[in-house]
Amino acid sequence: MDAVGHLIMAMHDRSDRIAAALWDWLQQHGWTTRQLAEYLGCTTTTLERLALVARPQDGTDWEDDVEIIAVSLRLDHDALRAILQATNTPAEREYGA
């Protein structure tokens, strides 16, 4: 496992960070971090930065927040949205909603 894989794994229980969503995606699809980076259109270094970013909060600004993150890190917006939508919100994880 590479450095970014270790970072994502170490932070997988931090539902307030995008690392949790990246971990879930990696586990669901059986991908490597390199495959994930290719899907997002970035380098593994950028993937490492993305993992540390605060996860967008549900609400009316969610889509705008995702776009800001994607533009700031030069990621594929649709891919990032798909990853974030594919995982449950923190409240759903905690309460089994």
Residues of the chain above pLDDT 90, percent: 85
For 23, phi then psi, to 5°, come to -60, -45
**Mean pLDDT within 23-48:** 96
What's residue 88's pLDDT? 58
C-beta separation of 66 from 81 below 8 A: yes
Residues with Cβ within 8 Å of 63's Cβ and at least 6 positions away in sequence, in order, are 81
Q: What is the mean pLDDT of residues 26-52?
A: 96
Assign 93 a pLDDT band (cuts: 50, 70, 90): very low
Looking at residue 27, its pLDDT comes to 94
Three-state DSSP class for 58? coil
In angstroms, the CA 82 to CA 88 distance is: 12
- Residue 87 in this model has a pLDDT that exceeds 90: no
Q: pLDDT: is 90 or 33 the higher one?
A: 33
Kindly state the tokens that stand for 25. Answer: 């995606």
Q: Is the pLDDT of residue 45 over 80?
A: yes
CA–CA dist 55, 14 (Å, integer): 10
pLDDT higher than 70, residue 89: no
